[in-house]
Amino acid sequence: MPENHRSEQASPFFSVVIPVHNKGPHIRRCLSSVLDQTCKDYEILIIDDASTDHSLSEIKEFTHRRIRLFRRYTPGPGGYAARNLGIKNARGQWIAFLDADDQWHAGHLEQMKNLALQYPQTSFMSCGWEKEIEGKKSPNPFYTRFHSQGNQCISLKDYLIAAVNNMLPVCTLVACVRKDSPLMDDLFPAETEAKRGGDIHTWLKIMCYHKKMAWSNHLGAVYHTDSCNMVTKSAETGTTLLQPKIYHQLAKNLRKDEKTLLTKYMNVRLKKSLVTSIRINQRKHKYRNSIYWKGDVINALKLFLWSLIPPSLLHFVYSKTRSKKHLP
């Protein structure tokens, strides 16, 4: 439910949706990076997702008229329900997403607005971002490989090729989706479908529907890996979003070559999910029935063989080696 309605514009270009669950130490950095944007054509929708720390008091220190605060009283995994609530109440032409423990560079929204004007037919946009580990920043692989080619339109085929090669062109903190996209009702998965990985699935769903995205060759954001209460460090993995029925929903309007690439990408995601479950010592692995064989037999066979090994043994090997190079 809304706490206030201070937004100064009835229909801004961007609605910035920020879910917050126990991110008190990071909120000032995040919100300041939005308020410092050179482009001022935006509103901010903060969704406090049942925080129990000092997050709410930190949020209320910001009294800017662009900010609208909403609260949920039951936290949802991954912030997915919070983002859906933000989308529902957004007034902007474009929805931009940012997590409460990350930050934008000052020119990010201005560059994204220019991109939207350059590609007026697009419904999905992204750009490069930086990952900070122990104070050292490095750009994401897609940016490193393609930024010299300038702004570009990425087809579904090229998106899947990049994703299969671990060069995903988008992440949550730089994703922008047009508000009038037919997918905006419950864009992110329901709480019963995923505790993690729902954002990656959402971008794939958008691409399979719209078949293209626009990409800007600027570094728009910083992803901080040392934040508190990170879903990526603790939430259990699952295969609900990797089940065959999900594949068929995504593939129903795809060409044969796109379907083959989608198959390979689903196995890549399954492999990463398996590796993560080993890292956090998850006791139950239910991957065998989610493996995609057609068009990707070799990788499917590797996944199948790994799925036969007891989880406790896999975690033992992982804990001893402290390296994923021996994992699938």
Q: What is the pLDDT of residues 104-156, one digit of tens each?
A: 999 999 999 999 999 999 999 999 999 999 889 999 999 999 999 999 999 99
The dihedral of CA 246, 248, 252, 255: what is its sign?
Answer: positive
Instruction: Spell out the domains of the chain, with CATH numbers in brackets.
Output: 14-229 (3.90.550.10), 236-321 (no CATH)
Structure tokens at 217: 């060759």
Q: For the chain, first and last CA: distance in Å?
A: 44
Higher pLDDT, 27 or 273: 27
The predicted model scores a pTM of 0.88
pLDDT digits (tens, 9 = 90+) for 66-101: 999 999 998 887 799 999 999 999 999 999 999 999
Q: Reduced to 3 DSSP states, what percent helix, strand and coil does the chain have, rounded to the nearest 5? A: 45, 20, 40
Number of C-beta neighbours around residue 145 at 10 A: 14
> Tokens 């293209």 sit at which residue?
212
3-state secondary structure (DSSP) of residue 83 = helix
The pLDDT confidence band at residue 192, using thresholds 50, 70 and 90, is low
Rounded to whole angstroms, the Cα distance separating 103 from 221 reads 6
Cβ(21)–Cβ(54) below 8 Å: no
In the predicted model, is pLDDT for residue 322 greater than 80? no
Q: Where are the alpha helices (DSSP H) in 61-215?
A: 80-89, 108-118, 141-146, 156-164, 198-210
